[in-house]
Amino acid sequence: MYPSRFRYEAPRSLDEAIALLHDGGEDAKVLAGGQSLVPLMKLRFASPELIVDINGLPGLAYHRQDPDGTLRVGALCRHADLERSALLAASQPTMAAAAPLIADPLVRNRGTLVGSICHADPQGDWASVATALGAAIVAAGPGGRRTIPVAEFVTGPFQNTLAPDEIAVEAVFPAAQGTRAGGYLKLERRVGDFATVGVAVALETSGSVVTRAGIALTGVGGSTIAATAAEQALAGRELTPPVIEEAAAAAAAAARPKTDHRGSAEYKRHMVATFVTRLLSRAGPDAAAEPGTPGKAA
Amino acid sequence: MTTVYDDLSDAESGDVPVNRIRFSINGKKKIAEVEPRLLLSHLIRRGLGLTGTHMGCDTTNCGACTVLVDGRAVKSCTMLAVQADGHEITTVEGLAGASELHPLQEGFRQEHGLQCGFCTPGMMMAASQLLADNPDPTEEDIRWALSGNLCRCTGYQNIVKSVLWAAEKLRSAG
């Protein structure tokens, strides 16, 4: 299979890349990891006339933490970099749990977190993790930079709010006020498949009280779902079994699954509740008593 | 490398975009003129005649086309050939020396790590990144590293054994 014919540019500076996109307009597309875009082009679901390959841009392959605890992930940071990151393992349990579950090792060597969020596949894992953590995308365009919360950035299946001449250069994950807990669980038919159901839980706790809760769902709706009612059920409370049950029920109610070859809508909704319960139980005071689970990723 | 662009419409015929790239493959430096839509897997197989890299699914699922790009295992059907510019590619043909097999190749022979052999080059390339990163992998490490490579003969047990065999051989060789 071949993509349809296109022109290819590999700019060496961000300004040059933005200028190329500006001239290309709606017919231009940014290529980073290419693990979603290239397959779409081969299937002719996407037929851009101009590809602006940003892999040669300097200084975008990082992920680092600011002194205040804010985590920044550059547009060329690969999934594999995050999977092997000591920084994430030590400070970002939800991201550390998700990174090894993205696609397969070969895709993780090339694909990027920022690209995955931009692609906005309802079954993409990073958009849920970013939503649960309250992350934002930094977009660079001819007029400068702007920061867009991921919850507003993703507007629907495969849709985001980038202008045609903007490039998402960074994802920003805000610092935690309390102690971080949480994780990511994904049901997939085999390694590398898209999520049948995915659940991201990102908690901040103070003592035994949850001070902030982020819960987002993958693959059970037209786009990433922020389970706000479930988040509200946890805020300011301790992770007791009744509280966990309430949050799990609220998250399941927020899901909008469809029956397909990966499972029935009912099954998927049930799995949302199961995953929320599992993740919250691991984060709660009884975590050590739960057998057979890896516990908190940190 | 000679490239033929066929089935061109009149409008296109004067205007096919072509990019000149420099890259190395299995240690040899090359220059090629490629149309941007040419996939890396096609450059390797058709352009360079290195048919050890197999095309299985052509849809980023199976891993048969795995090659190393700057030491990282990637699916060559999901990368544009033009993106190889300035990079080092290693295919299965680059594993063996002039006179002897690479320990991975020897391991697949010793442990019967292949049946039909179609997935084997991809398995070996994914395994070669693993062994470069982790010379003493557990069985679990190997299964994890090869989880993007499908074998439809269901030969996974012996594939894992083959990689363990190669790891031990490489370690004992120091």
- Tell whether B87 is covered by a domain: yes
| CB-based burial label for A12 (10 Å; 0-12, 13-18, 19+) | exposed
Tokens 């990144």 belong to residue:
B129
- A218 and A261 belong to one structural domain: yes
Contacts of A42 in chain B (CB under 8 A): 39, 58-59, 77
Identify the closest residue of chain B to A192 by CA–CA distance: B148
pLDDT tens for each residue of A89-143: 999 999 999 999 999 999 999 999 999 999 999 999 999 999 999 999 999 999 9
Residue A193: pLDDT above 90?
Answer: no
**CATH number of the domain where residue A48 is located:** 3.30.43.10
In 3D space, the residue among B81, B31, B22, B87 whose CA is nearest the CA of residue B53 turns out to be B81
Neighbours of B4 (CB within 10 A): 4
Q: Are A158 and A198 in contact (CB under 8 A)?
A: no
A218 pLDDT exceeds 90?
Answer: yes
Cα–Cα distance between A179 and A176 in angstroms, integer? 7
**Helix, coil or strand: residue B109:** helix
Give CA torsion, residues A84, A157, A27, B12, to 10 deg. Answer: 90
Spatial CA neighbour of A1 closest among A46, A54, A50: A46
User: What's A225's DSSP letter?
Assistant: E
**pTM given for the model:** 0.94
Confidence of residue A194 (pLDDT cuts 50, 70, 90): confident
Identify the domain containing residue A38 by its residue range: 7-54
Query: Does B2 fall in a domain?
Result: no
Asked if residue A158 belongs to a domain, the reply is yes
Residue A294, domain member (yes or no): no
Residue A3 has pLDDT above 90, yes or no: yes
Is residue A218 within 8 Å of residue A123, measured between CB atoms?
Answer: yes
Q: Report if residue A188 sits inside a domain.
A: yes
The one-character DSSP state at A55 is G
The string of pLDDT tens digits covering residues A8-47 is 999 999 999 999 999 999 999 999 999 999 999 999 999 9
- Look at residue A297 and tell me whether its pLDDT is greater than 50: no
CB contact at 8 A, A250 and A237 = no
Interface confidence (ipTM) of the complex: 0.94
Residue A271 domain flag: yes
Of the candidates B73, B94, B115, which is a domain's last residue? B94
User: Do residues B72 and B119 share a domain?
Assistant: no
In a domain, B160, yes or no: yes
Is residue A228 situated within a structural domain?
yes
CA distance A197 to A76: 27
C-alpha dist (Å) from residue B9 to A237, B33, B36: 67, 21, 18
Neighbours of B78 (CB within 10 A): 26
Mean pLDDT to the nearest integer, A158-182: 96
What is the length of chain B? 174
SS3 A2: coil
A47 and A105 both lie in a single domain:
no
Chain B residues within an 8 Å CB radius of A104: 63, 147-148
* CATH code assigned at B126: 1.10.150.120
Is the same domain home to A74 and A166? Answer: yes
Sheet of A50-53: strands edge to edge?
A7-9, A50-53, A28-31
State residue B6's pLDDT score: 61
Within a domain: A295: no
Is residue A188 domain-shared with residue A248, that is, in the same domain? yes
What percent of chain A clears pLDDT 90, i.e. is strictly above it? 90
Residues 6 or more apart whose CB falls under 8 angstroms from that of A158 comprise A119, A120, A121
Of B48, B70, B94, the position where a domain reaches its end is B94
**Locus of tokens 């993007």:** B148
- Confidence class for position A158, pLDDT limits 50, 70, 90: very high
Same domain, A184 and A246: yes
Examine residue A199 and state whether it is found in any structural domain, yes or no.
yes
Say which CATH number the domain at A139 has.
3.30.465.10
Q: Supply the CATH number for residue B14's domain.
A: 3.10.20.30
Token reading at A106: 């070969």
A87 closest CA partner among A97, A74, A98, A96: A96
| Boundary-marking domain end, from B51, B69, B94 | B94
Do B18 and B72 lie in one domain? The reply is: yes
Choose one of A144, A173, A202: the last residue of a domain.
Answer: A173
pLDDT, one tens digit per residue, over B113-159 is: 999 999 999 999 999 999 999 999 999 999 999 999 999 997 899 99
pLDDT one digit per residue (tens) for chain B, 174 residues:
556 666 666 666 667 889 999 999 999 999 999 999 999 999 999 999 999 999 999 999 999 999 999 999 999 999 999 999 999 999 999 999 888 999 999 999 999 999 999 999 999 999 999 999 999 999 999 999 999 999 999 789 999 999 999 999 999 987
What CATH number should be reported for the domain holding residue A276?
3.30.390.50
Together in a domain, B108 and B38: no
Is residue A286 pLDDT above 70, yes or no? no
* Average per-residue pLDDT for chain A: 94
The answer to whether residues A139 and A237 belong to one domain is no
| B122 found inside a domain | yes
Q: Nearest residue of A to residue B133 by CA position? A: A84
Of A119, A138, A173, the residue at which a domain comes to its end is: A173
Q: Rounded CA gap, B123 and B128, in Å?
A: 9
Same domain, B73 and B127: no
Q: Do B120 and B149 lie in a common domain?
A: yes
Element (H, E) at B134: none
Looking at the structure, tell me whether residues A124 and A212 fall in a common domain: no
Question: B163: domain range?
Answer: 103-173
In this prediction, residue A291 carries a pLDDT of 43
Number of CB pairs < 8 Å for A and B? 91
Q: Which of A173, A206, A223 is where one domain is finished?
A: A173
Does A183 lie in the same domain as A167? no
Q: For strands B88-90 and B72-75, give the pairing.
A: unpaired
Give the number of other Cβ atoms within 10 Å of residue A152's Cβ. Answer: 11
Beta-bridge partners for A71: A65, A173
pLDDT tens digits for A232-267? 999 999 999 999 999 999 999 999 999 999 999 999
**Coil vs helix vs strand at A24:** helix
Considering its fold, how many domains does chain B have in total?
2
Give how far Cα B53 sits from Cα of B49, B50, B77, B102, B149, Å. 10, 7, 10, 16, 13
Is residue B60 within 8 angstroms of chain A, CB to CB?
yes
Q: Is B31 a domain residue?
A: yes
Residue pair B119/B99 in contact by the 8 Å Cβ criterion: no
Residue of A7, A31, A192 with shortest CB distance to B148: A192
Closest partner residue to B148 (CB to CB) among A5, A41, A106 is: A106
What average pLDDT does the segment A42-65 reach? 97
Is A291 among the domain residues?
A: no
Can you list the positions of beta strands (E) in A219-272?
225-226
Rounded Cα gap, residues A71 and A106, in angstroms: 25
Same-domain status, A74 and A161: yes
Residues A14, A17, A19, A22, CA torsion sign: negative
3-state DSSP helix/strand/coil percent for chain B, to nearest 5?
Answer: 40, 15, 45
User: Do residue A3 and residue B37 have CB atoms under 8 angstroms apart?
Assistant: yes
Residues B116 and B58 in one domain: no
Q: Does B70 map to a domain?
A: yes
Hey, of B39, B46, B60, which one would you mutate to test binding to chain A, going by the most A CBs within 10 A of its CB? B60
The answer to whether residues B69 and B19 belong to one domain is yes
Tokens of A140: 């660079």
Mark whether B22 and B86 lie in a shared domain: yes
Domain count, chain A: 3
pLDDT of residue A289: 46
Residue B69, phi then psi, degrees to nearest 5: -115, 115
Q: Are residues B121 and B166 in the same domain?
A: yes
